[in-house]
Amino acid sequence: MVYGDAHVMRDHANEAPAVLGAAPLDDEDQPPAQVFLPAERITNRNQPVTLELRRLADGTTAMLAFTTLEALVSGCGDTQPWIAVEGGSIPDLQRRCGADQVVWDAAVPADQRHGEGAR
C-alpha cells in the first residue's frame, strides 16, 4: 500500500486547536497491533492513500491515530474515511508524511468533520 507521500499535507482553512482532547502515548506505551488513521477517500484501487493531517494552533502538524475503530468514529464522525495499518508502522508513517507528532484518540471539532459542515 502506498501512503501518499507526495500529497499527504492539505491546507486546512480552519486550524484544529492545539489540544484535540487527547494525549500522545507515553514512551513506554506501545500502539495496538492495528491502528486506524483518517485518510482521504479513495475512488480507485490504484490511487495512493493520503493521510489527513491537522495543523495545530501552535504551528505544528499532527497525524491523528486511533486505537479502535469506535474511537475513530467517536472522534471524527461516522463519515470519516479511514485506513487500518499495523501499529508498528506509525513511526514510519509519521516520518513519511512529515507530521511533527502523532495525536491519539483525538476529538476533532464537529465543524471540521467530514460531512458535518466545514468540508
- Per-residue pLDDT tens for 80-100? 999 999 999 999 999 999 999
Q: Answer yes or no: pTM beyond 0.85.
A: no
pLDDT of residue 26: 56
The whole-number pLDDT of residue 24 equals 53
Q: Which domain holds residue 81?
A: 5-12+25-112
Average pLDDT, the chain: 80
What Cα–Cα distance (Å) separates residue 6 from each residue in 26, 84, 97? 30, 20, 8
Residue keyed to cell 495512493: 48
CA 29 to chain centre: 19
Model confidence over 41-55: pLDDT tens digits?
988 889 899 999 999
Q: Based on the structure, what is the number of domains in the chain?
A: 1
99 falls within a domain: yes
In a domain? residue 63? yes
Residue 81 lies in a domain: yes
Rg over CA atoms, the chain: 13
